[in-house]
Amino acid sequence: MFFPMSICQLVSQEETHKPILLPHLESVILGRGPQTTIKDKKCSREQVELKADCSKGFVKVKQLGANPTSVDSVVVGHGKEVKLMPGQLLHIVNDLYPYTVQFKEDPGSCKRPLDVSSKDEEGCPEAPSLKCPVPDVHSGKQSVAHWSQGLKASMQDPNMQVFKDDKVVVIKDKYPKARYHWLVLPWISIPSLKALRDEHCSLLKHMQKVADHMVQQCPHASALDFRSGYHAIPSMSHVHLHVISQDFDSPCLKNKKHWNSFTTDYFIESQDVIHMLETDGKVTVKEGTSELLKLPLCCHLCRKELPTIPALKQHLKSHFLAKNRTSNAS
DNA sequence: GTTCTAGAAC
DNA sequence: GTTCTAGAAC
């Protein structure tokens, strides 16, 4: 194909101006100026460099200015570059001037590309409402969210919800890594652990209470061990508390990354996150945490090292049998 | 996050 | 030859 399948736009969440077209693989430099309507002196005239990749569905964001540009509350850093996915929030500078990116099917029927400098208010007649960062399942192909934003849609789906109150919702993990595996998500959007502040403490404590409640209502709770905690570096956006039974008996547990993400310090206990927040006012992930995923497979119960995933699964069966013997004997 | 599959490991 | 892992995905 000669043309990318979709076009990419940068959308002001404050609707201070019309969306800015980000042509496929072309660098667009933005900052203080008429295009963004930003007049803030803290914002460089060349604050960010954006390069959309329409085939891969993300935008590379490079912070050119000295003051912080952030994606989902995480600072990019001067001269550094991060990926911006649909559904994530870009702040041009100092947590101000929020933007999202949108990939849409190339309208084709439009004779000319969307030209934001054009005075013609009619523009493309198809110009959709661009406020919602999560695509509406009913509107189909207007925009395509990146897979990492999938939890935002799942938590809103009544068919996925197994518990909800005014603060949180619980869904079953779509690919459970054990016999019981739930996710507790707050209704408010907290993109990642890095965005947590001490004001979130009570919410996290509530999430823990709901996690405990899920375990209590589980018919096999007394026969199983459970842990609740967060992945240090999750793949999916939107803070989520894993509540998972410690049998790890599931066909969806397939590789070393799966195993180590729940059985090494990559898995941070809910209490530890709350404690960190209370003492430091933020959550810090130790350097080298991502390397924990590459550690050899090691049984979480007896520390025996196993060479492969099938060998590990076979080994886990011996612990089930031992546990059944003790529970039958008592 | 998953799926797919080339090629490493056995 | 088969099993299994690990990296790309347009």
Question: How far does the CA of A56 sit from the C1' of C9, in Å?
Answer: 9
Q: Which nucleotides of B are covered by protein (CB under 7 A)?
A: 1-3, 10
Question: How far does the CA of A324 sit from the C1' of B7, in Å?
Answer: 41
> Of A200, A231, A240, A242, which residue is the catalytic one?
A240
Q: Decide if A179 contacts A249 (C-beta within 8 A).
A: yes
- Find where tokens 């850093």 sit: A77
* Confidence (pLDDT) at A122: 40
Is any atom of nucleic acid chain B found less than 7 Å from the CB of residue A125? Answer: no
Both tokens of residue A160? 């996925």
- Entry pTM: 0.85
| Cα–Cα distance for residue pair A172/A214, rounded to 1 Å | 11
* Confidence (pLDDT) at A22: 95
- Domains assigned to chain A: 6-105 (2.60.200.20), 150-295 (3.30.428.10)
Answer whether residue A49 shows pLDDT above 90.
yes
Compute the half-sphere exposure of residue A84: CA atoms within 13 Å on the CB side of its CA.
37
Mean pLDDT of A86-92: 94
Which tens digit of pLDDT belongs to each residue from A218-264?
A: 999 999 999 999 999 999 999 999 999 999 999 999 999 999 999 99
Q: Which residues contact A120 (CB under 8 A, 6 or more apart)?
A: none
| A240 a catalytic residue | yes
Answer whether residue A136 shows pLDDT above 80.
no
Which tens digit of pLDDT belongs to each residue from A185-201?
A: 999 999 999 999 999 99
Q: Which residue is nearest to nucleotide C5 (CA to C1')?
A: A255
Question: How far does the CA of A236 sit from the C1' of B4, in Å?
Answer: 21
